[in-house]
Amino acid sequence: MYRLILVVLLLTILYFLLRQMFRGFTTPIRGGREKSGSQLQEEEQDQMIEDPVCHIFVPKRIALIEVIGGREYCFCSQECSVKFRAEHPV
Ligand SMILES: [Zn+2]
């Protein structure tokens, strides 16, 4: 029983370490601004945005963001962006 608790504890620590490592890789380090708005920025990055072409909700951090006609649109893929541009010529 004691060993089980130890294993769970170790796995939890490993999980947090891996998560931190993963975040380090995905979030580019911007000098100076890190401390001020990192939490806010992270929340914004986790925001789900609807693709106007296929209506899939995409997290902002992986979405393809393009400004078309002064408005910001988020697409799930380059394909959708091309389709949107074809349908909405500026
Ligand atoms: Zn799409």
Q: Is the pLDDT higher at 89 or at 76?
A: 76
**Given a cut of 60, is residue 35 above it in pLDDT?**
no
**Distance in Å, CA 50 to ligand 1 centroid:** 9
Give the residue from 35, 31, 27, 33 showing the smallest Cα distance to 62.
27
**Distance in Å, CA 79 to ligand 1 centroid:** 7
**Distance in Å, CA 57 to ligand 1 centroid:** 9
Distance CA 15, CA 21 (A): 10
Q: Is the pLDDT higher at 36 or at 17?
A: 17
